[in-house]
Amino acid sequence: MLQAVIFDMDGVICHTNPFHSIAFQHFFAKRNLNPTQAEYEEHMYGKNNGYILSHFLGRKIEGRELVLLEEEKEGLFREIYKSEVDPIAGFMEFFAQLKSEKILTAVATSAPRANLDLIIGTLGIGGQMQSQLASEDVSKHKPAPEVYLKSAEKLGVDPAQCLVFEDSFSGVTAGLNAGMKVVGVLSSHTKEELPACDLYIKDYKNLDLAEVFNLFK
């Protein structure tokens, strides 16, 4: 039986990836780097900043340097995005339906806590999220299942009774590795670019709750 729904954030609650791309473009331009859109799609979407920065800067970025570079880039993102926060079509209505059915809800993101606070705070749904985990809350990032297993533990729910909404290869893999059912949100990738999900949606407009409950029959 479905007991909890756990949402990734970027590309799942809000379509932030274009704004992350802009922030990274500013960040990398200062360093005379100019990655292509295809490179962003392959090496940014759904990845944590340690991986992204190490990949594009061509060396291992960790420790204090990672903290400083991440703060710079994410500060750029929040400055660009704070007046643009806009949920994916139908999300707020679907979220309200879940709450009316007394389903537990959570957010589990690879983004920093400050980004989570900005987005969830602007949408005004933090008080209805029974768990909110960000990159600072885990030691192993997606595709490792840690953030989803921790979410289930915090919610007091068996992972098998959780449904994950994800948009990236690493995120879907993390949800599946946690033993959860996964809905693939096709905001950043096609079906073919993701591992096999239990259901796929482009947005939440035509997502029927009955369809979601049926996944657990």
* Domain span including residue 29: 17-81
| CATH number for 199 | 3.40.50.1000
If asked whether residues 34 and 118 sit together in one domain, one would say no
Total count of domains within the chain: 2
Q: pTM of the full predicted structure? A: 0.91
Tell me what pLDDT residue 77 has.
96
Among residues 40, 63, 81, the one where a domain terminates is 81
If asked whether residues 145 and 167 sit together in one domain, one would say yes
* Percent of the chain residues past pLDDT 90, beyond the cut: 90
The yes-or-no verdict on residue 37 having pLDDT over 90 is no
If asked whether residues 173 and 109 sit together in one domain, one would say yes
The DSSP-derived string for 81-99 is: HTTT--BPTTHHHHHHHHH
If asked whether residues 31 and 123 sit together in one domain, one would say no
pLDDT in tens, 38-68: 898 888 887 888 999 999 999 999 999 999 9
Distance CA 112, CA 195 (A): 25
pLDDT in tens, 141-167: 999 999 999 999 999 999 999 999 999
